[in-house]
Amino acid sequence: MNPDPSKDNTVNITVGGKPYKASPGQTIVHALWAAGQAQAISTGCAGGVCGACTVSIRFADGRKGGTELACRKTVEEGMQVYPFPVDPMPSKPPVSDPTPEKLREVYPTLDRCTKCESCTHACPMDIPVMNSVLRMQKGEFEQVAEDFTTCIHCGLCRAVCEDKVLPHQMGMWVRRSMGLSYPNPPVVPEPDQKAAAEWAHLMEGTPEERLERARQFRKEGGLGV
């Protein structure tokens, strides 16, 4: 029910130039779902972690727009939304004991950065992308690995970089290379009996058995292994 009948609670937005009516508080993705137009923007998790729903936005009141995740951004009157899908790009294999020289060999783009800061503004996870590129140049890899901890691989920092620096690819290379360099691999605890038995079912069971176990899990919230 409309909480205040004296007000029209419709929010008008456009997506790719097409007008849609939304409700206050809806995300762009939810507004499209409600309109039966889910295909208008590619969507994955709908929870801000997969990076599939990249868009760029303009506001009606002249505020500075920019890049966003459509599953997190709530609608505003007059908002113009443009799908901005970013193609995935294969990553380069990590190395042990990474150095700026090794990084430059793999990504010669490292020194192209002109410090425009577009990547930092584009990042929906508030990662200090440009500063991290400057840290990569200086070999401050512990901090770089920390910077990219919350990266969701949406690729927006790459897409907006006119100098094709590839900041997120380099950030991931640093993180993975740091992981390869630990003297001792992390200790993986032995699986408990129940988990091991479930694993055996998954590996050895027939598709019918797996389906039956999934049904049982849904019904009972657990498995009598």
Angle ∠(69,33,56) on CA atoms, nearest 5: 25
Residues 161-200 that bind ligand SF4 (CB under 6 A): 161, 163, 165, 167-168
**Judged by CB under 6 A, how many residues of this single chain contact ligand FES?**
12
**Closer residue to ligand FES, CB minimum distance, 45 or 195:** 45
**Closer residue to ligand FES, CB minimum distance, 32 or 144:** 32
Binding ligand FES (rule: CB under 6 A), the pick from 16, 45, 60, 194 is 45
136 binds ligand SF4 (CB under 6 A): no
Residues 59-78 that bind ligand FES (CB under 6 A): 69, 71
Query: φ and ψ at 75, to 5 degrees?
Result: -70, 150
- DSSP secondary structure, the chain, as one string: --S-TTS---EEEEETTEEEEE-TT-BHHHHHHHTT-GGGS--SSSSSSS---EEEEE-TT----EEEETTTPBP-TT-EEEE------PPPPP-SS--HHHHHHH-GGGGG-----HHHHH-TT---HHHHHHHHHHT-HHHHHHHGGG-----HHHHH-TT---HHHHHHHHHHHHHHT-SSPPPPPPPPHHHHHHHHHHHHS-HHHHHHHHHHHHHHSS---
Query: φ and ψ at 135, to 5 degrees?
Result: -65, -35
159 binds ligand FES (CB under 6 A): no
**Closer residue to ligand FES, CB minimum distance, 69 or 130:** 69
Residues 29-68 that bind ligand SF4 (CB under 6 A): 51
166 binds ligand FES (CB under 6 A): no
User: And the tokens for 143?
Assistant: 């901090």
CB of 161 to ligand FES, least distance (A): 20
**Closer residue to ligand SF4, CB minimum distance, 20 or 177:** 177
Binding ligand SF4 (rule: CB under 6 A), the pick from 30, 73, 135, 153 is 153
Query: φ and ψ at 54, to 5 degrees?
Result: -70, 135
171 binds ligand FES (CB under 6 A): no
52 binds ligand FES (CB under 6 A): yes
**Judged by CB under 6 A, how many residues of this single chain contact ligand SF4?**
28
Given the rule CB under 6 A, which residues bind ligand SF4? 51, 113-119, 122-123, 125, 127, 129-130, 133, 151-157, 160-161, 163, 165, 167-168
Given the rule CB under 6 A, which residues bind ligand FES? 43-46, 48-53, 69, 71
